[in-house]
Chain A
Amino acid sequence: MAKIAKGVKLDHISKIYQDPKTGKDFYAVHDVSLDIRPGSFVTLLGPSGCGKTTTLRMIAGFESPDEGEIYLGDQAINELTPNKRDTAMVFQSYALLPHYNVFDNVAYGLKLRKVPKDEIRSRVMHILELVELKGMEARMTNQLSGGQQQRVALARALVIEPSVLLFDEPLSNLDAKLRISMRTEIRRIQQEVGITAIYVTHDQSEAMALSDNIIIMNKGVIAQMGTPQEVYYRPASEFVADFIGEANFLKVKVREVNADGVTVEMNGVRFPVQKPEIPVAAGEDRTVMLRPEGIRVSDSGALPCKVVLSCFMGSYQNYHVRVGDALVRVTDNHPVGRRVYQVGEEAYLDFNVIDTHLM
């Protein structure tokens, strides 16, 4: 692609909506600031109603922000209508023009830009090759499978060479298998083209597989931003930890803080945890987050526990154990040949310091 990808900047963006039931105004998006690097793939992740789609639609121009300014590259674009913005969106429902065939759908944006016919032809064919739809240009869109329709939608957005590509949950209408292969495709094409992409989803595995950076939103505000690894291993809050993957939370008291570690206490048992980036002091009540795959049920370990559920799931053994009042889920991967604990058995929770995260 000839064009140079542009970054996107959101400067203290808010959007206010009216609750249709109560008639009260509320913030659908509140004070969101983002700086998206040119050429990077960023995902807005969150539960429904968290403001992610509204944010995306503000970038596209379908909604107008109530506070703040949006920049595309260096240009403030608040006042531009969607058709004047250098963005292209891939919709959840694909939104292909049903009265056009594949070729005309992809060529639509180029025709609007009055690109010469020959050039339209070559550019459309090139893009169709990229999304592996060559030979299908004469098909009507309703003769295509869901995955193929999605490729047309992607091709249509790519062909106009926008500065930014916007995705609004594009894979949620596909079945699970197709979803996985399509997300690999999207990532491949984005990297091949080198375009900036902003992707909205509520599917955390999609977000992790695709993104350079993930922005987790909740109730209109940004809950955390970071690389997939950062948000997974170092979640900023219980909400983030819970939303991205499965998480166990242990309520602990901080006992000792020194240069290379922290010691906490739970049910009278002390154990070491990883030192967090945030400041921590002895005597505080905190939470330790443990991922189910980061712990094991064992004959020895840090915390005594009692097995309340033991269930073979194929690739792993699923345990629920009780530690004091807390219920902890444990995923014991590839359990073949190891001892299986039965319901009612007393055992220990065993984990490495590196698998703990103090919040």
Chain B
Amino acid sequence: MARSQSAALDRKKLLADPVMVTTIVVLITFLTLFILYPLAILLVDSFYGEGGFTLDIFKRVLEMKTFRTAITNTLKVGFLVGILSAALGLLFAYVEVYVRVGRGVGGLFKVVSMLPVVSPPFVLSLSMIMLFGKAGLITRFLLGIYDNSVYGFWGIVVVQTLTFFPVCYMMLKGLLKNVDPSLEEAARDMGAGRMKVFTSVTLPLLLPGLGNAFLVTFIESIADFANPMIIGGSYDTLATTIYLQITGAYDKEGAAAMAIVLLTITLLMFAVQKYYLEKKTAATLTGKASRARMLIEDRSVTIPLTVLCSLAAIFVIMMYICVPIGALFPTWGYKFTPLTFKWFKQVFTRYKGFKAFKDSFVLSLISAPITALLSMIISYLVVKRKFRSKGFIEAVSMLAMAVPGTVLGVGYIRGFSGGLFRTGLLQGIYGSAAILIIVFVVRSLPTGTRSGISALRQIDKSIEESAYDMGADSFKVFMTVTLPLIKDSFLSGLVTAFVRSITAISAIILLVTPQFLLITVQINEFAEKGAYSVACAFATILILITYGAVLLMNLFIRFFGTSRKIREDS
């Protein structure tokens, strides 16, 4: 029994479709060149010295005390942030799904889950310093504490937790909605109290999902560059150490070896999360809840939980509001009135704000459609087609999800500063706009692909088959059927890519050359210098841009989206 004939026929059919073949070849080249190759070069760099294979470079970096501390620091922060985010996320998710809350509280939840999406990654660090730092609004002026330090371990933990917990909240909310209420009702019926039901039914069911949320945040935390950079002070994590190793010590081999260590940690976590926990989560919580849940109305439960959540939500919102307000005070920490626009003015008059916004905006605007289209094509190929190299495409796009930006940045430096394999080939893109755009694309590709895949899975395969059967080739099928059907997902992918690009920093800060001014890099610089008001002014404008983009998308989808029309049917 051999499947050779069908394999040969499938190959022939594929080759009869030049657009499809070209697409696959281009994709594989792109993924190999810009994801696999930079990571491979890091491996080569850190294991290959003058005299061939060597462990000396690893030995050298591992002997650095700063690096060893950075590893433990990173893991400690990641672990705690993972636990706290999962716990806070669970609290919010539980209250939303199980407890009857007022309308206002529901609105708060929405805002909280939305804020981290539209804001640059380090906004919370800024406001943390401005509220609780030495000259902090709350510490100094409300409480009269003059020597409070927010820099270091706790600063990072608090800021990262507040930044990442909405992700856990959204994940756990989805899972809790799938818990069949009759399971809990059965437990209640047999005499279990509410607490007992939670600990003996809900929690065990949710456990893999909680583990999943924990690991996702853990990975996010150890890959995070911006927050430790701004609020870490002398408390260095892996991402910042690698950055300093390159920009401060000019030790590129050392940085490569460090990057490999960071990559190994995230990849291990990612593998556990992806191939173990995600499956387990799906196994315990599948299908739909059979009917609506009776919400908890018992005041002894609702009041404390609502108060707790509202306080947390208000705190988070306050942290975000602090940024635009900070930009309006004449001198933060000393003079609060009259409110002034002078910082905003200075952004444009003294600090080349216009160029920064133009550069960031244009580069993100170019990379967004490329990302959106690429991720839709990848999702289409992964979900709807079968061909030999599909596994490769899927695996590499997944891999990109687990690669921290700093690692990618170092890989690009090592891989492209001297051209491909140091031969000078493609050297031209290094330092150019092209490499920045490529980094933007690679960094946003995994998110886009993931949402594209889930959107495409909902489309009946036979719809595309029918078009194919009617005489359309792959290209026609994609353009006339697939793309129109996932227009909404495509649009939101477009905006997400744009927002992610314009707020990106970790990889880009290593690659940007003086000819480009990027907003995020500017904010980082001013925050480092302690010029918080200017940093806030930059950040405020950036938030306005991203928020505007999201609003525009929602409007667009409302009026031109097709999916809604189609969905009404089912």
Q: Is A336 located at the chain interface by the 8 A CB criterion?
A: no
Report the bound CA distance from A66 to B5 in whole Å. Answer: 5
User: A81 and B17 in contact (CB under 8 A), knowing A93-B460, A95-B466, A142-B569?
Assistant: yes
User: A67 and B566 in contact (CB under 8 A), knowing A83-B470, A113-B471?
Assistant: no
Q: Is A91 located at the chain interface by the 8 A CB criterion?
A: yes
* CB-based contact B468/A82 at 8 Å: yes
Q: Chain A's nearest CB lies how many Å from the CB of B16?
A: 6
Q: Is B562 located at the chain interface by the 8 A CB criterion?
A: yes
Q: What is the interface residue range for chain B against chain A?
A: 35 or more
* CB-based contact A65/B469 at 8 Å: no
- Contacting residues of chain A (54-77) with chain B, CB-CB under 8 angstroms: 60-67
* CB-based contact B9/A79 at 8 Å: yes
* CB-based contact B462/A112 at 8 Å: no
Q: Is A16 located at the chain interface by the 8 A CB criterion?
A: yes
Report the bound CA distance from A112 to B2 in whole Å. Answer: 37
Q: Is A263 located at the chain interface by the 8 A CB criterion?
A: no
List the B residue with the shortest CB-CB distance to A91.
B462
Report the bound CA distance from A91 to B568 in whole Å. Answer: 21
Chain B residues in 8 Å Cβ range of A81: 13, 16-17, 468, 473
Q: Is B472 located at the chain interface by the 8 A CB criterion?
A: yes
Report the bound CA distance from A87 to B12 in whole Å. Answer: 19
Chain B residues in 8 Å Cβ range of A97: 463, 466-467, 480-481
Interface string of B474-508 (1 = CB under 8 A from A): 00100011001100000000000000000000000
Chain A residues in 8 Å Cβ range of B528: none
* CB-based contact A64/B13 at 8 Å: yes
* CB-based contact A15/B6 at 8 Å: yes
* CB-based contact A109/B471 at 8 Å: yes
Report the bound CA distance from A63 to B13 in whole Å. Answer: 10
Report the bound CA distance from A349 to B17 in whole Å. Answer: 65
* CB-based contact A89/B6 at 8 Å: no
List the B residue with the shortest CB-CB distance to A143.
B569
Q: Chain A's nearest CB lies how many Å from the CB of B279?
A: 15
Q: Chain B's nearest CB lies how many Å from the CB of A198?
A: 13
Q: What secondary structure prevails in chain B residues at the interface with A?
A: helix
Chain A residues in 8 Å Cβ range of B468: 62, 81-83
Report the bound CA distance from A220 to B481 in whole Å. Answer: 33
* CB-based contact A99/B470 at 8 Å: no
Q: Chain A's nearest CB lies how many Å from the CB of B386?
A: 10
* CB-based contact B465/A64 at 8 Å: no
Q: Is A98 located at the chain interface by the 8 A CB criterion?
A: yes
User: A82 and B465 in contact (CB under 8 A), knowing A66-B6, A88-B470?
Assistant: yes
Question: Among the listed B473, B480, B481, B566, which residue makes an inter-chain contact with A83, where contact means beta carbons less than 8 Å apart?
Answer: B473
* CB-based contact A25/B3 at 8 Å: yes
Report the bound CA distance from A91 to B460 in whole Å. Answer: 11
Report the bound CA distance from A330 to B228 in whole Å. Answer: 83
* CB-based contact B470/A142 at 8 Å: no
List the A residue with the shortest CB-CB distance to B465.
A62
* CB-based contact B472/A83 at 8 Å: yes
List the B residue with the shortest CB-CB distance to A62.
B465
Chain A residues in 8 Å Cβ range of B291: none
Chain B residues in 8 Å Cβ range of A16: 1-3, 6
Report the bound CA distance from A84 to B16 in whole Å. Answer: 10
Q: Is B423 located at the chain interface by the 8 A CB criterion?
A: no
Q: Is B185 located at the chain interface by the 8 A CB criterion?
A: no
Question: Among the listed B13, B463, B484, B569, which residue makes an inter-chain contact with A95, where contact means beta carbons less than 8 Å apart?
Answer: B463
Question: Among the listed B1, B7, B473, B485, which residue makes an inter-chain contact with A25, where contact means beta carbons less than 8 Å apart?
Answer: B1
Chain B residues in 8 Å Cβ range of A18: 3
* CB-based contact B463/A89 at 8 Å: no
Q: B residues bordering A, Cβ < 8 Å? A: 1-7, 9-10, 12-13, 16-17, 460, 462-463, 465-473, 476, 480-481, 484-485, 562, 565-566, 568-569
Extra A-B contacts (19), CB below 8 Å, given A79-B9, A95-B466? A62-B465, A62-B468, A63-B6, A64-B9, A66-B6, A67-B5, A82-B468, A83-B472, A89-B465, A93-B462, A96-B463, A97-B467, A97-B480, A98-B565, A99-B484, A99-B485, A99-B562, A112-B470, A142-B568
Q: A residues bordering B, Cβ < 8 Å? A: 15-16, 18, 25, 27, 60-67, 78-84, 87-89, 91-93, 95-99, 108-109, 112-113, 140-142, 153, 156, 160
Can you name 16 A-B pairs with beta carbons within 8 Å? A15-B6, A16-B1, A64-B10, A66-B2, A67-B5, A79-B12, A83-B473, A84-B471, A88-B469, A88-B470, A91-B462, A95-B460, A97-B463, A97-B467, A99-B565, A142-B565
